[in-house]
């Protein structure tokens, strides 16, 4: 392996693309302390804040996705794409990377396209069970595709595709040992069931409305709630803080939140599904309908179909949630089966395996 290793990572738009990229960068840095690492993201998205917080440099491209309806942003898309391709070529020329890694999101398309046109090895990390259009287009020229789900193999060249799993935080590997510490951290009663409610860092309006509508039932069943409302909704729901209900804007100690939970209500982003597989607790998915190509429903279905989780789409919640969810809460046997089955999907060494593939690409 060359001493002055130079790597570009591109991914963003959502935490589901950013945090895997940062995990991969951290693993590269751990193995190669002298490596030069640069991120490329979309100039107005959250990666411009999160990546520097993680200690890495980032360049921004003027790029965004295509909306489903006619908007000014859509009309500008061809100009944004040309601008981003030109800047990507400039970044590649100036930085001279040995390898380029794309974890999805708007910016990875032009950046990997520019790298491929210069013959620079590239690797795609596909988090979802159903790939987005950008990664489908890039797959033909990529040197390697590291995926999380067997289902994606039908979309990508088989000889290039390896199932590695998604990078996840390593502190989740020992949450079973943290149960007492977790309950103490949140001030919870060990003799009462705990439900953890997750809607992402910004929050999920529909999940928050669902919890609010069922608060009396939760209280009647003596169920404790760790309710992460998200920063968009915290002010609206903090009034419900009480003995059994804890509302949180954000959960910094996710390992303790997972450790305290008996059952989890969650969105189904790819990174979240990978984390929940390692956590190995029963999960009730409520996929977001507002993501490209209905990725979250497809991610959740890949788990549900092997009896490793339960799922309801948003338009079924009012009719079915109370019956199905509280039936799950009443059945220790069902909880045990779901927890054991989802744990079978866990791939805890994903980050290391992805970086192994990066090193093979560079050495070829």
Bridge partners (DSSP) of residue 194 are 224
Contact partners, residue 169, CB within 8 Å, separation at least 6: 23, 254, 255, 275
Return the residue matching tokens 């995990």: 23
- CATH superfamily name and code, 171-345: Glycogen Phosphorylase B; (3.40.50.2000)
- Per-position DSSP letters for 271-336, written without gaps between them: HHHHHHHHHT--EEE---SSSGGGHHHHHHHHHHTTTS-EE--GGGHHHHHHHHHHHHHH-HHHHH
Select the more confidently predicted residue: 230 or 193. 193
Q: How confident is the model at residue 74 (pLDDT cuts 50, 70, 90)?
A: low
Look at residue 105 and tell me whether its pLDDT is greater than 60. Answer: yes
Look at residue 15 and tell me whether its pLDDT is greater than 80. Answer: no
The dihedral region occupied by 66, where left means phi > 0, alpha psi between -120 and 50, and beta the remainder, is: beta
Q: How many CA atoms lie within 13 A of 235 on its CB side?
A: 1
Select the more confidently predicted residue: 46 or 91. 91
Q: How confident is the model at residue 14 (pLDDT cuts 50, 70, 90)?
A: confident
Mean of per-residue pLDDT scores for the chain = 89
Q: Which tokens is 222 given?
A: 């003596």
Determine the Cα–Cα distance for residues 153 and 185; give it in Å rounded to an integer: 42
* Residue whose C-alpha is closest to residue 19's, from 272, 215, 236, 191: 272
Q: How confident is the model at residue 353 (pLDDT cuts 50, 70, 90)?
A: very high
φ, ψ for residue 103 (rounded to 5)? -110, 15
Of 83-87, 204-208, 281-285, least confident by mean pLDDT is 83-87
Determine the Cα–Cα distance for residues 152 and 155; give it in Å rounded to an integer: 5
Asked if residue 128 belongs to a known ligand binding site, the reply is: yes
Select the more confidently predicted residue: 263 or 302. 263
Q: Which pLDDT value is given to residue 352?
A: 95
Overall average pLDDT of the 265-291 stretch:
92
Q: How confident is the model at residue 117 (pLDDT cuts 50, 70, 90)?
A: very high
Determine the Cα–Cα distance for residues 352 and 7; give it in Å rounded to an integer: 16
Domains 6-168+348-363 and 171-345 share a fold: yes
Q: Which pLDDT value is given to residue 11?
A: 84
Q: Which pLDDT value is given to residue 271?
A: 85
Determine the Cα–Cα distance for residues 330 and 142; give it in Å rounded to an integer: 48
φ, ψ for residue 65 (rounded to 5)? -80, 170
Q: Which pLDDT value is given to residue 229?
A: 95
Determine the Cα–Cα distance for residues 233 and 206; give it in Å rounded to an integer: 11
Q: How confident is the model at residue 175 (pLDDT cuts 50, 70, 90)?
A: confident
Asked if residue 201 belongs to a known ligand binding site, the reply is: yes
Overall average pLDDT of the 72-80 stretch:
61
Q: How confident is the model at residue 332 (pLDDT cuts 50, 70, 90)?
A: very high
Our CA angle for 116, 56, 248, nearest 5°, is 115
Sign of CA dihedral 323, 326, 329, 331: negative
Sorted by where each begins, the domain ranges of the chain are: 6-168+348-363, 171-345
Q: Which pLDDT value is given to residue 329?
A: 97
Our CA angle for 283, 287, 292, nearest 5°, is 145
Look at residue 49 and tell me whether its pLDDT is greater than 90. Answer: no
Determine the Cα–Cα distance for residues 198 and 258; give it in Å rounded to an integer: 10
Our CA angle for 89, 90, 95, nearest 5°, is 105
Determine the Cα–Cα distance for residues 269 and 338; give it in Å rounded to an integer: 18
Contact partners, residue 294, CB within 8 Å, separation at least 6: 130, 287
Q: Percentage of the chain with pLDDT > 70? A: 93
Q: Which pLDDT value is given to residue 79?
A: 66
Look at residue 12 and tell me whether its pLDDT is greater than 70. Answer: yes
Topology, domain 6-168+348-363: Rossmann fold (3.40.50)
Are 341 and 14 in contact by the 8 Å Cβ rule? The answer is: no
Q: How confident is the model at residue 295 (pLDDT cuts 50, 70, 90)?
A: confident
Look at residue 2 and tell me whether its pLDDT is greater than 90. Answer: no
Are 98 and 34 in contact by the 8 Å Cβ rule? The answer is: no
Overall average pLDDT of the 167-193 stretch:
88
Look at residue 62 and tell me whether its pLDDT is greater than 90. Answer: no
Burial of 222 (0-12, 13-18, 19+ CB in 10 A): exposed
* Residue whose C-alpha is closest to residue 218's, from 202, 239, 194, 234: 194
Overall average pLDDT of the 146-154 stretch:
89
Overall average pLDDT of the 302-330 stretch:
96
Are 196 and 226 in contact by the 8 Å Cβ rule? The answer is: yes
Asked if residue 14 belongs to a known ligand binding site, the reply is: yes
Q: Which pLDDT value is given to residue 72?
A: 54
Q: Which pLDDT value is given to residue 64?
A: 61
Of 135-139, 301-305, 320-324, least confident by mean pLDDT is 135-139
Are 263 and 335 in contact by the 8 Å Cβ rule? The answer is: yes
Overall average pLDDT of the 212-222 stretch:
96
């Amino acid at each position: 392996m060359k001493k002055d290793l130079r790597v570009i990572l591109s991914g963003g738009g959502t935490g589901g693309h950013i945090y895997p990229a940062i995990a991969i960068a951290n693993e590269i840095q751990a193995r190669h302390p002298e490596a030069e690492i640069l991120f490329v993201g979309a100039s107005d998205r959250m990666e411009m804040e999160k990546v520097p917080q993680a200690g890495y440099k980032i360049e921004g491209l003027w790029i965004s996705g295509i909306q489903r309806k006619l908007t000014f942003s859509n009309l500008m898309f061809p100009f944004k794409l040309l601008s981003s391709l030109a800047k990507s070529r400039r970044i590649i020329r100036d930085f001279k990377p040995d390898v380029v890694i794309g974890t999805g999101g708007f910016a990875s398309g032009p950046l990997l396209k520019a790298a491929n046109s210069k013959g620079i090895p590239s690797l795609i990390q596909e988090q979802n069970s159903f790939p987005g259009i950008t990664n489908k287009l890039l797959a033909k020229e990529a040197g390697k595709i590291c995926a999380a789900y067997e289902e994606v193999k039908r979309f990508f060249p088989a000889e290039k595709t390896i199932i590695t799993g998604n990078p996840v935080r390593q502190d989740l590997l020992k949450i079973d040992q943290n149960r007492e510490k977790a309950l103490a951290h949140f001030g919870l009663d060990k003799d009462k069931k705990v439900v953890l409610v997750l809607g992402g860092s910004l929050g999920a309006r529909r999940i928050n409305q669902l919890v609010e509508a069922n608060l009396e039932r939760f209280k009647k069943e003596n169920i404790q709630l760790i309710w992460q409302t998200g920063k968009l909704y915290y002010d609206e729901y903090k009034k419900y803080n009480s003995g059994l209900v804890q509302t949180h804007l954000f959960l910094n100690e996710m390992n303790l939140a997972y450790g305290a939970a008996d059952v989890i209500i969650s969105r189904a982003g790819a990174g979240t599904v990978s984390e929940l597989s390692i956590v190995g607790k029963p999960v009730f998915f409520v996929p977001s309908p507002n993501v490209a190509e209905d990725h979250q429903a497809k991610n959740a279905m890949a788990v549900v179909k092997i009896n490793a989780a339960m799922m309801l789409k948003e338009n079924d919640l009012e009719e079915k949630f109370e019956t199905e969810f509280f039936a799950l809460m009443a059945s220790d046997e069902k909880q045990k089966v779901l927890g054991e089955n989802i744990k079978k999907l866990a791939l805890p060494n994903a980050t290391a395996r992805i970086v192994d593939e990066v090193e093979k690409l560079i050495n070829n």
